[in-house]
Amino acid sequence: MKITLLVVGKTEDKYLLEGMEKYLNRLKHYISFNLVVIPELKNTKNLTEAQQKTKEAESIMKQLNNADQVVLLDEKGKKYTSVSFSNYLNKQMIGSVQHLVFIIGGPYGFHESIYARANSSLSLSDMTFSHQMVRLFFIEQLYRAFSILKGEPYHHE
């Protein structure tokens, strides 16, 4: 199985880039992982929030194949503990899933067509995080999940 994390917009903040790099470097020892950045829309001044979400959705859909298992990062999604998330990943790996795609929305969240395409959703908290910060938190949780599956000492309950 390979995992893709699809995000909208480049990260400019150094503190986030450094954190992401740290966990991406660790994660690559466990799984084939790809971070795909969909470029942020330019000249959005004349676009409504709904129009921006529609355009983002078109770019997201272009990245997806029919067989992909798509999981949206969404504050209203399903909640896991780190251990239950590691079990979820294990199930996907031993099941028939070839490509697991997690998606973090843009500043306004997801268009309804993306909700309709998704197979499931995942909440990191009831709180709303910036779409930039979520990528760091999620990559750390992915790394943590694989370290749990490997029985390595990173995670302490």
Ligand X SMILES: C[S@@+](CC[C@H](N)C(=O)[O-])C[C@H]1O[C@@H](n2cnc3c(N)ncnc32)[C@H](O)[C@@H]1O
Q: What are the residues binding ligand X (CB under 6 A)?
A: 73-75, 104-105, 107-110, 123-125, 127-131, 134
Q: Is 129 annotated as a binding residue?
A: yes
What's the rounded Cα separation, in Å, for the pair 117 and 2?
A: 19
Contacts for 84 with CB less than 8 Å, ≥ 6 apart: none
What's the min distance (Å) between Cβ of 6 and ligand X? 10
Q: Is 128 annotated as a binding residue?
A: yes
Of 98 and 132, nearer to ligand X (C-beta) is: 132
What's the min distance (Å) between Cβ of 94 and ligand X? 25
What's the min distance (Å) between Cβ of 17 and ligand X? 17
Q: Is 125 annotated as a binding residue?
A: yes
Q: Is 73 annotated as a binding residue?
A: yes
Contacts for 79 with CB less than 8 Å, ≥ 6 apart: 123
Of 19 and 105, nearer to ligand X (C-beta) is: 105
What's the min distance (Å) between Cβ of 111 and ligand X? 10
Of 17 and 133, nearer to ligand X (C-beta) is: 133
Residues forming the annotated binding site for S-adenosyl-L-methionine? 73, 105, 124-129
Residues forming the annotated binding site? 73, 105, 124-129
